[in-house]
Structure 1
Amino acid sequence: MITRFRRLPLRSRLALLTAAAVAVAVALAAGACWLVTKQQLSHQRDTTLTSQRVDDRSVQGLVQTCGTNPSGLPPAPGSYTIQVVTAGGLVCTTPGKAAIRVTEDDLAVATGRVDDVVLHDSRATDGQEMRVATYRSERLPNTAVSIAQPVSEIDKPLNALALVLVITAGVGVLGAATAGLWIARAALRPVDRLTGAVEHIARTEDLAVRIPVEGDDEIARLSSSFNSMTAALASSRDRQQQLIADAGHELRTPLTSLRTNIDLLVRSEETGRAIPPEDRKELLASVRAQMAELAALIGDLQELSRPDGPGASGPLQVVALHEAVERAVGRARLRAAGAGLSIDAEIDKWYVRAEPAALERAVVNLLDNAVKFSPPGGVIEVRLVKGELTVRDHGPGIPADELPHVFDRFWRSPTARSLPGSGLGLSIVAQTVQQAGGEVAVHAAEGGGAVACVRLPGAATEPPALT
């Protein structure tokens, strides 16, 4: 049954649940109403029976004419039955009424063992269930008077009330089921739109679909979240397609040059015409450089292909940023020495949560950029103070209109396209810093050159709880 219920559409389940809830509520209310009414009618009947009294002369007349000439006695009013019981066992019933079975309670009242009015149920000779009130006659000794009324006198209105309640409950349940189905359809209309949008996206992969957001309830929040999700997916797909297109464009140049050089070497071997040693040496050096450029480009692409978000590049660890900067500065000094550059470093202790290898590579990329754009004999200034890392060069700087693009993938300034590089270095820096919860910016420096600033949350002492 439960499995079959779960297979029903959601709106049908809501309608059934609504109808079931209303049915339970109506049944409880109807049952309580019926029980209260029965209790009140029974109490009223018992009060009436116990308060009734028969004139002693009528009782005496009934006893005197019992079984002889009852025609002269008036019948009991309405549905009431009056019966006299004596201690000697004489039972007299009003004319036209069926005799009521005498119980021990009736005899106890007649003999004087019980002084109070006794209420009890009994049965008449015609089979009717009777409610009987028996009291002791004040003037006639050893005599009790029973006043009885058929139980059916209150059963009939109770049965009629039960029928009315059942009909009312049935109408209420049907109305509730109808209203529940209508409400479910109205409430689930936004869900239907959302379902249609999801099915459309699954069928067509069209991430431009948006669902109208109405109000601020849970359905509106769900629609808004869905719109945000599709927008993020569309943006991610666009970035992926742009990355593939840019990677293909960047790979084409070194591959073309590499193929040309290799073709020259192969043609020399096939034709037997030797290439001069100096030219051959230059060709091999060019091939080696182009292969190194391809390897670096592929490594950068692998770095950028990792998803964004904290911990996406690997588990975050407590990293001594000052140690990573010192290692990066040591590597950069080797390259700077060949270009006649010097590096002035001032590094304070700072601990952050990041992926160690990615963080060190980001710092190396910043220093490589500074070395690349610094003039011969220049000084590169590296500072790590209170969690802020700055790398400044004294090169030509970056024009103001180019600053918004420095972190774009494969973007290179027109003045720097003759220099080696793929345009991915600063993109990797930005991604790594963002994954560590920090900020990075590049701006022009006073007196010329450019300054790269990296701010990472952390502490000057290693936090014990994070080690």
Structure 2
Amino acid sequence: MLRAKITLVVVAAAALAMTLAATLSYRGVSDVVAEQFDRALQDRAVTVVALLGVSRTPPVRPDTTEQVVEAGGAVRPLDPGRVALPAPESALGVARGERDSAREDITVDGAEYGVLTVPLPGGGALMVAQHYAGAERIDHAFLWRVPWTTVAATALSALLSWLALDRILRPVRRLARVTRDITTTQDLTTPLPSAGRDEIGQLTRSFASMLAALRRSRAQQQRLVQDASHELRTPLTSVRGSAELLQRGRGRLAPEDEEQILTTLVTEAAALDTLVRELVDLATDRSTEEEPGEVDLTAAAEEAAHRHRRRTGRTVTVTVHGPVPVRARPRAVRRCVDNLLSNALKFSPEDTPVTVHVEGARLSVRDHGPGIAPDERSAVFGRFYRGPRTQAVPGSGLGLAIVHDLVTADEGTVFATAAPDGGAEVGFRLPPHAPAAR
């Protein structure tokens, strides 16, 4: 569960941070205790030396022992009730005037003492020894408190993290619940939870965009199926009627009537073949499998013009003005130019030329046909659209729709305008290709 995993990560990070902080604090506390211990020895030594200088006996402290060390090595405790501590060689060196002071640690009967030896004005030295028991108590108390504090702080951070994550992940659970409902019911209109401004809100908005795209895709598929069934009905009815007429009139039809029926069958079968092929292309769009790259519009126009000249024997010219490379899928661009040329040749009289013009990142095909009315210039890119002046011309009404889908998939735009001296100019613009940075 995500909540438990995040809580474990937070707790582990908190425990690690607190352990590191406790370790550093312990080292800092140890240094402070040692510094305070040495300062206490120094202060006690200064006080005792000053009192001895005025022939006064220093007050007895239970945690310290003071004794005078003679130059010859004799030791005399200032408190007669205390046991004399052994004088280390460094203390004897101070008593003989060989050293200014000495700081040593000694162990007597299992007890550890810190010892500071300083010279006395009249000769000899003063040894001040302090038991480490006080410092050890502070050290042990700190060591005992650190684990318990760390455990308590870790438990508190775990609780707070668990409660905070419950609130933070609540929108994620709501979003997951709604997506499960959508998966079960297939209802793409189900509203998503309200989106905030954080990352979860961005995720919700991304889901909403995805659902909107799925709704559009489903609507387009349903519309495509409905339009296709409507468009297929007419040629299929014609084919069926002609076939039934041939079947009923077998051997009794005049040759010219039989030839006319067969011609109708071939024409309608060819129209069906074209329609089905374009429907498959429109539904699958295999060009989307191709990666976008740099495309030369001039080369694509010249190639398509040569192909249509050879196929139809018509006059197809190419004019170029300041072309620039575009970023698109090469096969998709070739398909678009082919569709535009086929459309222009179909609607343009046989004795008129068709011109492909490339200017910058814009390619257009100009014909001399009936033209496109202003209120039809957007509709011509719709699926199965047939204008009033083109109803009698054979076709599926899918050529420009395919151009629209392929161009917009490459972040381009399509357009259709009227030519100044008659006919139409139909084409597309694609984004210029940006050279790779070096």
TM range (shorter): 0.7 to 0.9
Given that 1:122 and 1:131 are in contact with CA atoms closer than 8 Å, whether structure 2 keeps it comes out as yes
Report what 1:305 is aligned to. 283
SS in 2 for 1:348: strand
Report what 1:412 is aligned to. 386
Match among 80, 89, 92 for residue 64 of structure 2 = 80
Given that 1:397 and 1:448 are in contact with CA atoms closer than 8 Å, whether structure 2 keeps it comes out as yes
Match among 284, 302, 327 for residue 306 of structure 2 = 327
Match among 415, 420, 439 for residue 413 of structure 2 = 439
- 405-414 vs 427-436, greater mean Cα deviation: 427-436
Specify the code of the residue in structure 2 equivalent to 1:108.
G
Q: 1:419 to 1:328 in 2, by over 3 A?
A: same
Query: Take 2:402 and 2:104, find their aligned partners in 1: how far apart are those partners?
Result: 97
| Runs of 5+ consecutive residues of structure 1 not aligned to the other structure | 1-8, 62-72, 337-342
Specify the code of the residue in structure 2 equivalent to 1:50.
Q
Match among 320, 323, 345 for residue 348 of structure 1 = 320
What is the deviation of 1:268?
A: 4.9
Match among 351, 354, 377 for residue 403 of structure 1 = 377
Given that 1:321 and 1:351 are in contact with CA atoms closer than 8 Å, whether structure 2 keeps it comes out as no
Given that 1:190 and 1:219 are in contact with CA atoms closer than 8 Å, whether structure 2 keeps it comes out as yes
Q: 1:352 to 1:324 in 2, by over 3 A?
A: farther
What is the deviation of 1:427?
A: 0.9
- 275-284 vs 434-443, greater mean Cα deviation: 434-443
Q: Does structure 1 residue 158 correspond to structure 2 residue 151?
A: no
Match among 22, 26, 30 for residue 22 of structure 2 = 30
Query: Take 2:357 and 2:393, find their aligned partners in 1: how far apart are those partners?
Result: 28
Q: Does structure 1 residue 296 correspond to structure 2 residue 274?
A: yes
- CA deviation vs aligned residue, 1:1-27 (integer Å, no higher than 9, x gap): xxxxxxxx2222322332333333333
Query: Take 1:291 and 1:392, find their aligned partners in 2: how far apart are those partners?
Result: 30
Report what 1:122 is aligned to. 106
SS in 2 for 1:48: helix
Query: Take 1:119 and 1:136, find their aligned partners in 2: how far apart are those partners?
Result: 12
Query: Take 2:158 and 2:352, find their aligned partners in 1: how far apart are those partners?
Result: 82
Q: How does 1:32-181 map to 2 (within 5 A)?
A: 32-51=24-43, 52=45, 54=48, 76-86=60-70, 90-93=74-77, 94-110=79-95, 112=96, 114-125=98-109, 127-139=110-122, 143-181=124-162
- CA deviation vs aligned residue, 1:303-351 (integer Å, no higher than 9, x gap): 21244987649977545034135325525854x7xxxxxx574523757
What is the deviation of 1:88?
A: 5.3
TM-score normalised by L of structure 1: 0.76
Given that 1:391 and 1:452 are in contact with CA atoms closer than 8 Å, whether structure 2 keeps it comes out as yes
Q: Does structure 1 residue 264 correspond to structure 2 residue 242?
A: no
SS in 1 for 2:98: coil
Specify the code of the residue in structure 1 equivalent to 2:85.
I
| Runs of 5+ consecutive residues of structure 2 not aligned to the other structure | none
Specify the code of the residue in structure 2 equivalent to 1:124.
V
Q: 1:139 to 1:214 in 2, by over 3 A?
A: same
SS in 1 for 2:130: strand
SS in 1 for 2:395: coil
What is the deviation of 1:296?
A: 0.8
Query: Take 1:37 and 1:359, find their aligned partners in 2: how far apart are those partners?
Result: 76
Given that 2:377 and 2:417 are in contact with CA atoms closer than 8 Å, whether structure 1 keeps it comes out as yes
Query: Take 1:21 and 1:137, find their aligned partners in 2: how far apart are those partners?
Result: 57
The count of corresponding residues between Structure 1 and Structure 2 is 427
Match among 156, 164, 175 for residue 183 of structure 1 = 164
Q: 1:90 to 1:323 in 2, by over 3 A?
A: same
Query: Take 2:363 and 2:42, find their aligned partners in 1: how far apart are those partners?
Result: 102
CA RMSD of aligned residues (A): 3.8
Q: 1:89 to 1:329 in 2, by over 3 A?
A: closer
Q: 1:18 to 1:99 in 2, by over 3 A?
A: farther
Specify the code of the residue in structure 1 equivalent to 2:184.
R
- CA deviation vs aligned residue, 1:165-214 (integer Å, no higher than 9, x gap): 44443333222222222332333233323333333333333333443454
Q: 1:98 to 1:123 in 2, by over 3 A?
A: farther
Specify the code of the residue in structure 2 equivalent to 1:442.
A
Query: Take 1:464 and 1:56, find their aligned partners in 2: how far apart are those partners?
Result: 88
What is the deviation of 1:360?
A: 4.6
Q: Does structure 1 residue 255 correspond to structure 2 residue 227?
A: no
Given that 1:328 and 1:363 are in contact with CA atoms closer than 8 Å, whether structure 2 keeps it comes out as no
Match among 376, 386, 392 for residue 359 of structure 2 = 386
Given that 2:118 and 2:127 are in contact with CA atoms closer than 8 Å, whether structure 1 keeps it comes out as yes
SS in 2 for 1:211: coil
Specify the code of the residue in structure 2 equivalent to 1:428.
I
Query: Take 1:457 and 1:137, find their aligned partners in 2: how far apart are those partners?
Result: 96
Query: Take 1:154 and 1:464, find their aligned partners in 2: how far apart are those partners?
Result: 73
Query: Take 1:89 and 1:391, find their aligned partners in 2: how far apart are those partners?
Result: 119
Q: 1:458 to 1:222 in 2, by over 3 A?
A: closer
